[in-house]
Structures are given as structure tokens and as C-alpha cells.
Amino acid sequence: MTAATIRTVYLNGAFLPENEAHLSIFDRGFLFGDGIYEVTAVLDGKLIDSALHMTRLERSVEEIGGRLPITTDEIVAIEKRLVEENHLAEGLVYLQYTRGAEDRNFFYSEDLQPTLVIFTQQKTLEHVAAVEKGLKVKSMPDQRWARRDIKSVCLLPQVLAKRAARAEGFDEAWLIENGMVTEGASSTAYIVTRDGRIVTRANSHATLPGCTRLAVLELAREEGLALEERAFSVDEAKAAAEVWLTSASNFIVSITNVDGAAIGDGKPGPMFRRLRALYMENARRTAI
């Protein structure tokens, strides 16, 4: 790696070149997956849906009985500084909190100093082929734990699901439980019924409460579109007018193929185009 590509990263109070940022082998994030993460999009050098990500971060940390070492205002200031120092116009900010480092023991010391890592990653988010072409999803059993509302770093089931999907030429895995789609391996799932109703699961312990979901549903409500928060099956998706996913790294993208079956005419539909345009406009207007 050349000097020009060495990023500045944040580690426990210090801004460091990425090759000088080192963590303990005793970190509980490494040993137990005892940690929480957030991924925030950056467009035009600004953070997208930042307040939503900070609210979810605080909640996830609280749900595991942790505590952030600094305030979310301080975190946002660090994220902005990293975006600026790394000249990041478009991409992602990754944040990881862990319970901290000490000798391996399932029981942890209450006074442990948490670990906080933040780094930026360049990525084209807006003008990607998927917007015009759509994505293909493959359904498979949801093998995750029962508290998916917590944005835990234990992502092995998602890593394996995505690998299995990709091996068969699909872009994303859809995770199925009791015959219903919970969500994508790293995205929220939606269908639009033939009578124009947007359907996505209600938030619960079964899925991650998506920040992009929150923003998209708010825009849909403002537009007066019909919404139903309920689970749906793969068969219902195959018969739907449109299928979508949302995530911080994709914003909103159309799914044009589910398990090999084309959705509608196999092209991204009009409701998707409308909400993508609305989302992008809103994301820029509210970016910080």
C-alpha cells in the first residue's frame, strides 16, 4: 500500500495512520464477537441518516449492557473529521464498539474500558449498475440468533449465506424463518403488491430496524402511499409487482429476480424509481 492510500482511522481517542492502529488479541470483539457496529453512508463528503444511526447505536449498546466511551455528538464529530482527512466524497463510515480487552472469560469486568474503532471506506454508492438492472436474491434458512434487532458484530451466518448466494450467481441472500422472509443478509426486504401496497416486516426482535427503512417509509407516508407492516413469503414476493431492498450501502434498490423467477417484467419498477429519487433527494437535504 502506498503512502497516498494510507487512511487516518480512529482508535480509542487517537487519530492514527491505519497501519499504526493496533488492537489487543484479548479484545472481546475478537474473542467473543462481543460488540456492536454501524455503517453510515457518505455522499458529497457528508453523512447520510446520521442521527438514525446514532440512535440505533445507543440502543444496541444499551441492549447488551454496554456503555459508549464518548457521546454520539463526539462520535459524529470524529466521523466528520475522518471523512474530511481522508478526502472521502462517497463511501462508508464503519464504526465498531466492543466491550474491551481482558483475559478471556465469558464473565466480563464491569469497569472494562470499551474499544471504539471508526474508519472510512471508499465505495461508489449512487451510480451503480444495480439501480438500472436490479439485484437477484436467493432464499435460504435464517440461521441467526433471536435478537437480530441488536446490530451485533456476530455476522458469521450472514457471511455464509452471502457466500452461498454468490456461489449460485445471486447478489444477496434472503433469510427465511417459518416460511416467511425475515430480511436480507445485510438489507431490509420489501414487496409492492399488485394493488400498489408497500409491504415490509414490522420492527421486532426478528429483524434489524433499518435506518434506511425508517427514512424510506417516512417518505412513502408523506407521499400518501399505502403501507403494510407484516411478513411475506417467497411465493408472495414472486407474484408481486415489485420487490426492493434497502440498506445504508445500497440506499433503495430493486430486486428483479427471486430464486430464479423474474419479478414483473424483470426490470426495476415505477414505484422503486419514485422512491429512489425521493430518498436520494431527502438524503442530500438532511446530510450533515
Q: Among the candidate windows 134-142, 162-170, 206-214, 233-241, which touches ligand PDD by CB under 6 A?
A: 206-214
Q: Which of residues 209-228 bind ligand PDD (CB under 6 A)?
A: 210-213
* Single residue of 115, 186, 254, 256 touching ligand PDD by CB under 6 A: 186
- How many CB atoms are located within 10 Å of the residue 282 CB? 17
Residue closer to ligand PDD (CB basis): 101 or 139:
139
Q: Are strands 198-200 and 227-229 parallel, antiparallel or unpaired?
A: parallel
* Single residue of 60, 139, 246, 257 touching ligand PDD by CB under 6 A: 246
Residue closer to ligand PDD (CB basis): 101 or 173:
173
Shortest gap between Cβ of 238 and ligand PDD (angstroms)? 21
* Annotated active-site residue in 136, 138, 151, 162: 151
Q: Does 39 bind ligand PDD (CB under 6 A)?
A: yes
Q: Which has the closest alpha carbon to 57: 67, 45, 48, 47?
A: 67
Size, binding site for ligand PDD by CB under 6 A: 14
Q: Among the candidate windows 10-18, 116-124, 198-206, 246-254, which touches ligand PDD by CB under 6 A?
A: 246-254
Is residue 151 a contact partner of residue 38, using CB atoms and an 8 Å limit? Answer: yes
Q: Which has the closest alpha carbon to 209: 137, 249, 161, 150?
A: 150
Q: Does 247 bind ligand PDD (CB under 6 A)?
A: yes
Shortest gap between Cβ of 220 and ligand PDD (angstroms)? 15
Residue closer to ligand PDD (CB basis): 34 or 49:
49
Is residue 80 a contact partner of residue 73, using CB atoms and an 8 Å limit? Answer: no
Q: Is 267 annotated in the active site?
A: no
* Cα atoms in the 13 Å half-sphere on the side-chain side of 9: 22
What is the rounded CA–CA span in Å between residue 177 and residue 87? 42
Shortest gap between Cβ of 63 and ligand PDD (angstroms)? 15
State the residue number with the nearest CB to ligand PDD: 212
What does the DSSP 8-state code read for residue 276?
H
Is residue 200 a contact partner of residue 246, using CB atoms and an 8 Å limit? Answer: no
Shortest gap between Cβ of 107 and ligand PDD (angstroms)? 28
Q: Does 208 bind ligand PDD (CB under 6 A)?
A: yes
Shortest gap between Cβ of 7 and ligand PDD (angstroms)? 18
What is the rounded CA–CA span in Å between residue 42 and residue 40? 7
Q: Among the candidate windows 28-36, 83-91, 242-250, 254-262, which touches ligand PDD by CB under 6 A?
A: 242-250
Q: Which of residues 53-72 bind ligand PDD (CB under 6 A)?
A: none
What is the rounded CA–CA span in Å between residue 86 and residue 164? 34
| Residues contacting residue 160 through CB under 8 Å, at least 6 positions apart | 143
What is the rounded CA–CA span in Å between residue 201 and residue 233? 11
Residue closer to ligand PDD (CB basis): 192 or 208:
208
Q: Which residues are 179's β-sheet partners?
A: none
- How many CB atoms are located within 10 Å of the residue 89 CB? 12
Which residues lie near ligand PDD (CB under 6 A)?
39, 183, 186-188, 208, 210-213, 246-249
**Residues classed as catalytic:** 151
